[in-house]
Amino acid sequence: MRLYSYVMVALLVLPTFSVIFYGLLWNSPSVVYVMLTPIVLTLTASGLAALCLSLVLTPVAFYLSMRPNAVLEALVDVPASVPHPVMGIGILLLFSEYTPIGQLARSLGLNVFDTFLGLLLALVTVSAPVYVRSMREAFSALPKEQFEAFSTLGFGLWRQFVNVALPQVKASVLNSALTAMGRAISEFGSVAIVAYYVLTPPFYGAKYASVMIYDIFSYQGLQAAVAASAILIAVGLLVSTAARAVIFLKRMKQ
């Protein structure tokens, strides 16, 4: 069983390792230069998306751990079960002139098409299920007895969340945010629909890293695309390693 498991996992990661290997062979200063701005844009947008998720959806994850709700859980998982280009189309539709929300956004001067705001919305939407699942598990692992005790003292769910749960899961919030950031870094489908180009400062004319790799493949072929992909994989691995380091340090403290 162990040998079988190692072989299957090796087959799963083989395409990624082949990109890294040949990317190191084929990389050049010109490819690194071309990918520099897309990488900065990707890290900035994915990092802000992870921050938004941690600020907005951490209470949702706590609520689901305390009050399991099949309907709410299914709704949270919708972005993970719908093709991401469809999610991108949905975001554009929601903020278009055809909907009340879109009309309100336009009256406020907000535009999501080919803007940094649209890119951020796409990344937050598609990464939300990853963050909520991770944090729900973290909250579920906390002893239920302490919440029952505070409940008898008149603590509602919000006070239990702020005063009891949140101080115990700070490392998990960081780990979940980094995991969601890693998911956002790899996003392509919704980004290609909503913000193929970012036409707002400070990244005017820039493309998300995955979109840039697609363009490089389309116009320059496989070899150049492999070299660019290796750079993005390296960045993603750094984020993943940081998440694993958070878990390791948390276990060491325990």
Dihedrals phi, psi of 24, to nearest 5 degrees: -65, -35
Domain ranges in the chain?
A: 2-253
User: How far out from the chain centre does Cα 5 lie?
Assistant: 27
For residue 116, which amino acid is it? F
ω into residue 100 within 30 of 0, thus cis? no
The predicted pLDDT at position 254 comes to 59
Pick the CATH number of 2-253 from 3.40.33.10, 1.10.3720.10, 1.10.10.10, 3.40.950.10: 1.10.3720.10
CA distances from 155 to 67, 207, 213 (A): 15, 48, 51
Tokens of residue 197, six digits: 């180009």
For residue 112, which amino acid is it? V
Region class of 251: left (phi > 0), else alpha (psi between -120 and 50), else beta: alpha
Q: What is the per-residue pLDDT across 119-146, written as a single tens digit (0 to 9) for each?
A: 999 999 999 999 999 999 999 988 888 8
Residues with Cβ within 8 Å of residue 79, at least 6 apart in sequence = 87, 125, 126, 128, 129
CA distances from 128 to 29, 82, 117, 138 (A): 35, 13, 16, 15
Q: Show pLDDT as tens, one digit a residue, over the chain (254 residues).
A: 888 998 898 888 898 889 888 888 888 888 889 999 999 999 999 999 999 999 999 999 999 999 888 999 999 999 989 999 999 999 999 999 999 999 999 899 889 999 999 999 999 999 999 999 999 999 998 888 888 777 777 778 898 898 888 998 988 898 899 899 989 999 999 999 999 999 988 899 899 999 999 999 999 999 999 999 999 998 888 888 877 777 777 667 65
For residue 244, which amino acid is it? R
Q: What is the per-residue pLDDT across 70-86, written as a single tens digit (0 to 9) for each?
A: 999 999 999 989 999 99
The predicted pLDDT at position 37 comes to 94
Place of tokens 């994850």: 61
Query: Would you list the DSSP string of 71-99?
Result: HHHHHHTHHHHS-HHHHHHHHHHHTSTTS
Tokens of residue 127, six digits: 């990464």
Tokens of residue 137, six digits: 């598990």
